[in-house]
Amino acid sequence: MRFFSDNAAACHPAVLEALAEANVLDTAYDGDAWSGRLDDAFSELFETRIEALWVTTGTAANCIALAMLCPPEGAILTHRDAHIENDEAGAPGFYTGGAKLTLLDGVGAKVSPETVREACARVRKDVHQVQPAALSITNASEYGLTYSPDETAALGEACRTLGLGFHIDGARFANAVAATGASPADLTWRAGADALSFGFVKNGGMNAEALLFFTPGHAERARRLRKRSGHLMSKGRYAAAQILALIEDDRWLANARAANAAATALAEACGPDRLVHAVEANELFVRMSPDEAAALRAQGFDFYDWAPGEVRLVTSWDQDMAAVERLAQAIRTL
């Protein structure tokens, strides 16, 4: 009974079926029929004209986007606990040609317009200091918190006035949509975002993420950066097919809702005192003594030690609800 990561879950059956259906000869790279349907599929989902690129990892999606929005001599503002800062092995520096990550504070790995403005105000407008060029936020955040459309729009407005590009790392964007009940459009381009890394791997996909650009024309250079970074697969239809399978019939949303529901059930079992952060998506950060954690593990529950006295539970699209109930019960009886 594993609550380690949605990263490690199996793929949705529809994804495997889609791969089987795509298992025919077609044009190489992204000239195939499946890849050709991506723009339309996302344009419908986001209620605007979108250019969409498949890539294999969230790191690739994030860093191609950042390279589009920030020149080598610029800085990307992001939260101190952001994935791009802590878990991408310096990929932003690689993709941008040495741009800087300027780290912001904020509860629950969320940033506010004030923090963004203050960070920009601290930078002297001379050639000696690296000038901020973009903001990258994560929705849902690294601690499972979501940005509402209003919060996102306030950040978008700050970016607009400060001349910053605006990127959203949506490794768990589906969970954010499910949690907020907001439309994909309201959480992105209507709020001023330029690019979204829309994660499908944590959502039941195998090895395909989508990188979306909301400004027409941006994708052209991004396609070059994708190729140049080795992310243009020759049999691209297998990536596109996965994404289409998850978009169709709103599977992505159903999957996210299932994961969120499992997390909510666990959050109720934990009660407010144990929870380090509010549980809005599919991650829980739970205060727990080593003895308590050991007791749960002895009952067959696996999870990650996050910090002294704190564990992390992550639920997936396919989390077994019986196991969730057993864990909830076990937590209640600690």
Task: Please report, as residue ranges, which positions from 84 to 113 form the binding site for its own copies (by CB under 8 A).
Answer: 86-91, 93-101
Residues numbered 238 to 297 that lie near its own copies (CB under 8 A) are: 238-239
| Contact characters 141-160, its own copies, x per CB under 8 A | --------------------
Size of the site for its own copies (CB under 8 A): 73
Q: State which residue, 63 or 168, has the beta carbon closest to its own copies.
A: 63
| Contact characters 199-238, its own copies, x per CB under 8 A | --xx---xx-------------x-xxxxxxxxxxxxx--x
Q: Is 72 in the site for its own copies (CB under 8 A)?
A: yes
| Cα–Cα distance, 200 to 312 (Å, whole number) | 21
Applying CB under 8 A, which of residues 121, 125, 127, 272 lies at the interface with its own copies? 127
The window from 42-50, 57-65, 113-121, 325-333 that contacts its own copies (CB under 8 A) reads 57-65
Q: State which residue, 160 or 227, has the beta carbon closest to its own copies.
A: 227
| Cα–Cα distance, 323 to 241 (Å, whole number) | 31
Q: Is 2 in the site for its own copies (CB under 8 A)?
A: yes
Q: Is 173 in the site for its own copies (CB under 8 A)?
A: no
Q: Is 132 in the site for its own copies (CB under 8 A)?
A: no
Q: State which residue, 134 or 155, has the beta carbon closest to its own copies.
A: 134
CB 29 to its own copies: min, Å: 8
Q: Is 326 in the site for its own copies (CB under 8 A)?
A: no
Nearest to 116 by CA among 71, 66, 167: 167
The window from 39-47, 51-59, 183-191, 281-289 that contacts its own copies (CB under 8 A) reads 51-59
